[in-house]
Structure 1
Amino acid sequence: MNQITAIAGALFAVAIVVETVVCLAFLHHLRARHPRQWLHAEQPLIWQDRTVLSARSTMLYLHQREYSYSLDRDGIDYCDRYRTVMLVAYWFTAITGFAALTTLALYGW
């Protein structure tokens, strides 16, 4: 395996793990500590039985600041606090995935 491709693939794998851990922790705390915000985010409908596969819907909820339209002040503060971390983890995964595919195309396996 090409060394550059291996490094890019490893970075992508790390990014996936980091994003998954960050996202699951965020959602667990959102559901446990802010159930009204959880319902506002329609998480039971979106995340049921497909947790990691629907990360985009949560990122859009945070990116577009839809959480600020709920009536749960503590939930809004929670989402505000963790919005940046969630978005950085999401985009880090997307960028490293693109980089891994690019290095695979340019340098081969």
Structure 2
Amino acid sequence: MKPVTASACVLFAIAIAIETVVWITFLRGLKSRHPEQWMHAAQPARWHDRTVLSARSTMLYLLTREFMGSIDEAGARYCSRYRAILLLAYWCTVGAGIAAVVALAVES
């Protein structure tokens, strides 16, 4: 594997790790501090190890600012605070993934 390809793959793995940490931190805070907002975000009522959560659905919820339609004002402020960092982490992961796929394709 060429150094550029290896670097792109490592960058992608790091981006995924950072996005996951930020996303899980956001979700834990949302569920514990703002349960009404959690339900408004259409997250599962019971979240445990085997519950499937979707980063994409969370990002769409934040991207479209659906959280503003909630009656939980504190929850909406919480979502607003995390919105920029979550979207940045998500799109950096997408970009790093595309770069890794392109690097792998070019190397072949």
> What is the deviation of 1:107?
2.2
Match of 2:51 in 1: 49
- Determine the structure 1 residue equivalent to 2:85: 85
Percent of aligned positions with the same letter in both sequences? 52
**Cα drift, residue 23 of structure 1:** 0.4
**Higher-helix-fraction structure:** 1
Kindly report which structure 2 residues correspond to 1:1-109, keeping only aligned pairs within 5 A, or say none.
Answer: 1-44=1-44, 49-51=51-53, 54-108=54-108
Runs of at least 4 residues off by over 4 Å: none
CA distance in 2, matches of 1:36, 1:49: 19
| Amino acid corresponding to residue 58 of structure 2 in structure 1 | T
**Shift, 1:65, TM fit:** 0.1
**Structure 1, unpaired ranges of 5+:** none
CA distance in 2, matches of 1:65, 1:89: 17
Instruction: Give the superposed CA RMSD.
Output: 1.3
Aligned letter for 1:101?
V
Which digits, 9 at most, give the CA deviation of each residue in 1:49-94, with x for residues without a partner?
Answer: 113xx11000000000000000001001000000000000100000
